[in-house]
Amino acid sequence: MTRSARWIVFWLGAGGVGTLIVLALLRMPSFGGLVHPYRDLAVPAAVGRSSPNIVSSINFDQRALDTLGEETILLGSVVGAATLLRPSKDEQELLDRDEGRVLEATKLLGYLLLPVTLIVGADVVFHGHLTPGGGFQGGVVLATAVHLLYVAGSYRLLRRLRPKSWYQVAEAVAAGAFVVLGLVGLLLTGAFLANVFPHGVLGDLFSAGTVFFLNAAVGAEVTSGVVVLLSAFLAQALSVREVS
Amino acid sequence: MTPLLVVAFLLVAAGATVVVLTREPGRQAVTLSVYGVLLTLLFVLLQAPDVALSQVAVGSAVVPLMVLLAVRKVRGGKR
Amino acid sequence: MSLLPYLVAGWLLLIGCFGVVRSRGLVHTVVCVAVAQSGTYVLLLSIGFQYGASAPVQGAPGPVVDPVMQALTLTDIVVSATVTALLLALVIQIAKRTGTVDPDQLDELRG
């Protein structure tokens, strides 16, 4: 398609979609209004199962099957991206001897922030049912923490501390754990991903039943998934070169 | 609607426009990161701390980093 | 004024599509797709918002905003990030195979 033809198609389409959006908006419930039927059902259900963070309760209990779907998309994309970024036959990983110069202050900051970020990440994962956060957010923080070593200028150290195969295995195991927890629910109550564990006391660390465990599984899966992704991109950008 | 919310919504709209109009992909990673922070601010104002947390981690750190690395690789391949 | 949030969401979708059409580099295209998708976050959270309500974490008195919309947005963000990663990997692969990431040049290569 030529460029001008593409623009004609775009303006026609954008005009149509824009009109439809505005027509739909005019009949939407007004912004900030009082009517939220889903909320009125979800909040009591969450509190009844000792999960003060209602969003976590929805993601890992009430709509846990959707989250399984989401995690499968994550797993699929990570596998796909890692496969696409694998060094091909005529490529080789070459590590430069010279890693470039990094300011001492930057290095120190990187090393100091590493343990802090790891703790914050773990905290966000394991308190996901109590405070804002959860497996997904904490997992991304944990994966970012590992890559602070790159900021600290040590790509070699990062590669040594980050055996890719472990994370690939962890990713698969965590995704599997999610399904196993779902099957436990199926066996005990007849419903896949049913919240079967004791709900505990509202506000305790070990409460909210399966939400806690599913959070941990998703945390492990997201951490390893993002590490695998970032390591594939880093390797392509920094060390994989064509040899001919 | 509070003035603060109006400003946040307009900033997000403006931020997205800047990201799209940035031609150079290396610079786009930076504007995308700023746009991620603007979205985070809006989400905080909309009382969504969970969403804001994941937006700040993903939208302003991980995705821009991947864009930056992809740009570097794509340019290196041309040389 | 109460339409502004929804209009912003629609604007994000359209400006993202505009960027995709205008794009002269596939990395730029992928970023524009991500911007277009961010319109859905704004739309969902705006639908769930209520004036004066607090965040959906138990402990605050009074009404809370709709947590279902926030859970949907959370899923949305994860999917957007992973799809962006997959698309960027595809772009890198295309650049390796053909030596260009300009959509117009790629068209010519195909003939």
> What residue ranges do the domains of chain B occupy?
3-78
In a domain? residue A11: no
Tokens representing A92 are 């080789």
Say whether pLDDT at A201 is over 80. Answer: no
Here the ipTM equals 0.86
How far off is chain B from C108, nearest CA to CA, in Å?
18
Cβ C13–A31 below 8 Å, yes or no? Answer: no
Q: Does A230 touch chain B if contact means CB atoms closer than 8 Å? A: yes
Separation of alpha carbons A154 and A158, rounded Å: 6
Cβ C82–A74 below 8 Å, yes or no? Answer: yes
Say whether pLDDT at B79 is over 60. Answer: no
In a domain? residue A87: yes
How far off is chain B from A182, nearest CA to CA, in Å?
24
Among A54-68, A188-202, A206-220, C91-105, name the one with the lowest average pLDDT: A188-202
Say whether pLDDT at C13 is over 50. Answer: yes
Provide the angle, in degrees to the nearest 10, between the axes of the packed helices C4-22 and A3-25. Answer: 170
A129 confidence band (pLDDT: 50, 70, 90): confident
Q: Which residue has the higher pLDDT, A179 or A18?
A: A18
Among A17-31, A89-103, A132-146, C70-84, name the one with the lowest average pLDDT: A89-103
Say whether pLDDT at A63 is over 60. Answer: yes
In a domain? residue A219: yes
Residue A63 with chain C: CB contacts under 8 Å: 68, 71
Among A115-119, A222-226, C3-7, name the one with the lowest average pLDDT: A115-119
The average confidence (pLDDT) of chain A is: 79
Separation of alpha carbons A240 and C41, rounded Å: 36
Torsions phi, psi for A175 (to 5 deg): -65, -40
Q: Does B1 touch chain A if contact means CB atoms closer than 8 Å? A: yes
Say whether pLDDT at A170 is over 50. Answer: yes
C31 confidence band (pLDDT: 50, 70, 90): very high
User: If you count residue pairs, one on B and one on C, with CB atoms under 8 Å apart, how many are there?
Assistant: 128
**A167 contacts A228 by C-beta, under 8 angstroms:** yes
Region B19-41 average pLDDT: 89
- Among A32, A143, A236, whose Cβ lies nearest the Cβ of B73? A236
In a domain? residue A135: yes
Among A234-243, C18-27, C73-82, C87-96, name the one with the lowest average pLDDT: A234-243
In a domain? residue A17: no
| The residue type at B42 | L
Residue B58 with chain C: CB contacts under 8 Å: 77-78, 81
In a domain? residue A23: no
**Best of C24, C29, C38 to mutate (most B CBs within 10 Å, chain B):** C38
What local confidence, expressed as pLDDT, does residue A179 receive?
A: 83
Structural domains of chain C in order of their starting residue, each with its CATH number: 4-110 (1.10.287.3510)
Domain extent at residue A194: 36-242
Region C12-21 average pLDDT: 91
| C-alpha separations of C64 from A40, A72, B54 in Å | 10, 30, 20
The average confidence (pLDDT) of chain C is: 85
- Which pTM does this prediction carry? 0.86
How far off is chain B from A196, nearest CA to CA, in Å?
25
Residue B71 with chain C: CB contacts under 8 Å: 27
The average confidence (pLDDT) of chain B is: 86
Say whether pLDDT at B78 is over 50. Answer: no
In a domain? residue A67: yes
